[in-house]
């Protein structure tokens, strides 16, 4: 526990976030040194399937037909159809196609969220770390205020205020999940600020923006990627939970969280409607976690 406040996961120090975390060690023990490989293979497969969705999906994910609603997947005996391997949902849309397009939505949300939150967090962290003093105090206050806001509840409220849509969910998550970026960037910039070549750049009169972008930024890149994987998994799970409660992506978009919401009323007779999208979420998040662990080992070890 060291001296760090035991009360908050949110207020981890940069070392705690970047060190091969306890969970990472666990995963490594389970997957030996293959975690990067396994994670990368699953993740790249999901990304490829999502990118080439029109090629892989047998049907249009939006094509409804009540005549073929709630078809069973292939492992059932009755009411199956060879054309619809994983069955159909309550309005007769092909479930396999919707699952494939659902990967697009999750990945889109994951990537765009970390693009926004990464930009905000990095900007705040680098500025706080480089200038220190009062600037640092203000940024610290902003970080602590953000941590005091209950993310899930405020995200729901924001979705109510601005209307539920894919854009709003991405914006809201992007505006919320920057705290780890800021903490890590701040601490690494503080260390980098006193490196000899940065001092040298300052001495020969380079401008502050030039120093930050050309001298400091390359130092933080690898840590940035590691934090990005953590936050991406986080964003994907949050979006799924928001959409599941009806405060996220709206119908007819094939989001995995929303599919769980729509399948809920049929859970008694067609439980696979719930089992399949959840498995997708589980695999994607597991892959991102494993990939992030591997990345951390490869990049951060080399630097030391």
Partner 1 sequence: MLAYTLKRIVVAFLILLVVSGLTFSLSHLSADPALTIAGEQASDEDIEAVRKLYGFDRPVIEQYVNWLSRALQGDFGKSYHYKAPVVEMISGRIGTTMTLGFLAIVFALVISIPLGTLAAMRPNSIIDRFALLIAVFGQALPTFWFALMMIILFGVWFRWLPISGNTTWAHFVMPTIALGYYATPALMRLTRAGMIEVLSSDYIRTAKAKGLSPVSVLFKHALRNAIIPVVALAAVWFGFMLGGSIVIETIFNLKGIGWLSYDALLRSDLPVVQAIVLIFASFYVILTLLSDLLNAYLDPRISVR
For helices 179-193 and 133-148, angle between their N-to-C axes, nearest 10 degrees: 160
Tell me if 252 contacts partner 1 by CB under 8 A.
no
Shortest spacing between CB 54 and partner 1, in angstroms: 27
Give whichever of 79 and 264 is closer to partner 1, judged by the CB atom. 264
How far is it, in rounded angstroms, from Cα 93 to Cα 273?
Answer: 12
Q: Site map for partner 1, 159-198, x if CB under 8 A? A: -xxx------------------------------------
Nearest to 87 by CA among 232, 297, 255, 277: 277
CA 208-115-128 angle, 5° bins: 35
Tell me if 33 contacts partner 1 by CB under 8 A.
no
Give whichever of 226 and 285 is closer to partner 1, judged by the CB atom. 285
Shortest spacing between CB 93 and partner 1, in angstroms: 20
Give whichever of 7 and 67 is closer to partner 1, judged by the CB atom. 7
Question: 72 forms bridges with which residues in the sheet?
Answer: 80
According to CB under 8 A, which one of 116, 260, 262, 294 is a site residue for partner 1?
Answer: 260
Give whichever of 181 and 256 is closer to partner 1, judged by the CB atom. 256
Tell me if 29 contacts partner 1 by CB under 8 A.
yes
In angstroms, what CA-CA distances link 253 with 61, 158, 250? 9, 20, 6
Shortest spacing between CB 274 and partner 1, in angstroms: 5
Give whichever of 92 and 278 is closer to partner 1, judged by the CB atom. 278
Site for partner 1 in 62-91 (CB under 8 A): none
Question: 94 forms bridges with which residues in the sheet?
Answer: 88
According to CB under 8 A, which one of 56, 111, 152, 217 is a site residue for partner 1?
Answer: 152
- SS3 of residue 9 by DSSP: coil
Give whichever of 92 and 246 is closer to partner 1, judged by the CB atom. 246
How far is it, in rounded angstroms, from Cα 107 to Cα 97?
Answer: 16
Give whichever of 74 and 162 is closer to partner 1, judged by the CB atom. 162
How far is it, in rounded angstroms, from Cα 151 to Cα 177?
Answer: 8
Alpha helices in the chain (DSSP H): 14-18, 22-31, 35-51, 53-56, 95-131, 133-148, 151-162, 166-176, 179-193, 196-203, 208-210, 217-245, 256-263, 272-303
Tell me if 26 contacts partner 1 by CB under 8 A.
yes
Site for partner 1 in 194-233 (CB under 8 A): 233
- SS3 of residue 88 by DSSP: strand
According to CB under 8 A, which one of 45, 119, 144, 208 is a site residue for partner 1?
Answer: 144
Q: What is the 3-state secondary structure (H, E, C) of 189-242?
A: HHHHHCCHHHHHHHHCCCCHHHHHHHHHHHHHHHHHHHHHHHHHHHHHHHHHHH
According to CB under 8 A, which one of 40, 41, 138, 237 is a site residue for partner 1?
Answer: 237
Tell me if 302 contacts partner 1 by CB under 8 A.
no
How far is it, in rounded angstroms, from Cα 103 to Cα 231?
Answer: 17
Query: Where along the sequence are the contacts to partner 1 (CB under 8 A)?
Result: 1, 3, 5-9, 11, 22-23, 26-27, 29-31, 141, 144-145, 147-154, 156-158, 160-162, 233, 237, 240-241, 244-247, 260, 264, 267-268, 271, 274-275, 278, 281-282, 285-286, 289
């Amino acid at each position: 526990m060291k001296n760090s406040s035991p009360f908050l996961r949110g207020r981890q120090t940069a070392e705690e976030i970047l060190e091969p975390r306890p969970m990472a060690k666990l995963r490594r023990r389970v997957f030996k040194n293959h975690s990067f490989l396994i994670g990368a293979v699953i993740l790249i497969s999901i990304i490829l399937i999502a990118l080439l969705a029109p090629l892989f999906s047998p049907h249009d994910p939006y094509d409804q037909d009540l005549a073929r609603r709630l078809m069973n997947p292939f492992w059932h005996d009755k009411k199956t159809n060879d054309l619809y391997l994983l069955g159909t949902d309550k309005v007769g849309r092909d479930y396999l196609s919707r699952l494939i397009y659902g990967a697009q939505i999750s990945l889109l949300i994951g990537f765009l969220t970390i693009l926004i939150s990464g930009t905000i967090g990095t900007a705040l962290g680098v500025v706080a770390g480089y200038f220190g003093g009062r600037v640092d105090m203000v940024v610290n206050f902003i970080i602590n205020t953000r941590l005091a806001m209950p993310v899930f509840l405020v995200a729901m409220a924001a979705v109510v205020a601005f209307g539920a849509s894919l854009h709003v969910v991405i914006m809201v998550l992007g505006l919320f999940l920057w705290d780890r970026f800021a903490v890590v960037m701040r601490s690494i910039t503080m260390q980098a600020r006193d490196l000899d070549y940065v001092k040298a750049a300052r001495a020969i009169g380079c401008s502050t923006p030039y120093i930050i972008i050309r001298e400091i930024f390359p130092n933080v890149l690898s840590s940035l990627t590691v934090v990005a994987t953590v936050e991406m998994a986080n964003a994907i799970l949050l979006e799924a939970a928001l959409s599941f409660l009806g405060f996220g992506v709206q119908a007819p978009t094939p989001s995995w969280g929303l599919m769980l919401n729509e399948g809920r009323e049929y859970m008694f007779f067609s439980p696979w409607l719930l089992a399949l999208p959840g498995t997708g979420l589980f695999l994607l998040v597991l892959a991102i976690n494993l990939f992030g662990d591997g990345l951390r080992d490869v990049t951060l070890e080399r630097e030391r």
